[in-house]
Amino acid sequence: MNLHLDSRNQLISLGFKELVQSILGEVTIEWHAGNPKVQHTSSGQKQVVVYNFAGNYQEIENNLKETPEDANCVKVILIQNRDVSDLPKLVSFGVSGFIDVNCTRDELKEAFRKVLHNQNYYCELVWNKILSHDDESTLSAPFSLTKREIEIIESLLNGKSTIEISRELGLSPHTVQTHRKNCFKKLKVKSLSELLLFEMENQVFKK
């Protein structure tokens, strides 16, 4: 496996190479002067690319656009900037992991276990930042959920019924059902059991 890192990457201090090796075995690091640009590889090896996000969205977007579809890449963002408003755009370019620069070794290990098994990872600090976004109408989050929709999803995951949710949130049962339908559509699930499976696999909602 090839690991592509910006030579300025702060994950180095966490023993990043050793952590990845403990998950997948031998790793070859390729250093880049700035955010990595990955080209096609004839070896077929998996490419793990870690981008430094410090408000430099355009630079990362350009690099992601230039990455060949057959490059066999897992794309991860190291968050160094508290402004997460561009996160949804980065997800649309195939980024599957977001790691806070202040993450612990255990968080880093969990993040790469997930993304290397085709799951998404959002570290707690980043997810909390998304949930505390000032925009009350539409949450700036990977799934474009409103804060109200997230409240309903969390209630559903806690086993609450439509009537219980409507009483707690001061909504009519019909409104709760409408929100539920919209949530399922955005998350691409068709039932409560699929929602539970989604949460087990991704662990993105606070319960």
**Can you tell me the distance from the alpha carbon of 105 to that of 14, in angstroms, rounded to the nearest whole number?**
6
Each residue's pLDDT tens digit, 96-136: 888 887 777 788 878 888 888 777 787 776 666 555 544 44
Contact of 166 with 156, CB cutoff 8 Å:
no
The answer for residues whose C-beta is within 8 angstroms of residue 148's C-beta and 6 or more apart is 169, 179
Q: What is the pTM of this model?
A: 0.58
CATH homologous superfamily of 2-131 equals Response regulator (3.40.50.2300)
> What's the CA gap between 202 and 196, in Å, rounded?
10
Q: How many whole angstroms separate alpha carbon 49 and alpha carbon 71?
A: 11
Question: Is 41's pLDDT higher than 80?
Answer: no
Contact 186, 143 (CB under 8 A): yes
When comparing pLDDT for 143 and 183, which is higher?
Answer: 183
147-202: CATH number: 1.10.10.10
Residue 62 has a CB neighbour count (10 Å cut-off) of: 12
Domain residue extents for the chain: 2-131, 147-202
Does residue 45 surpass a pLDDT of 80? no
**Would the pLDDT of 200 be above 50?**
yes
pLDDT of residue 26: 72
Instruction: Give the three-state DSSP class for 179.
Output: helix
Per-residue pLDDT tens digits for 64-100: 888 877 677 888 888 777 676 666 567 767 788 888 8
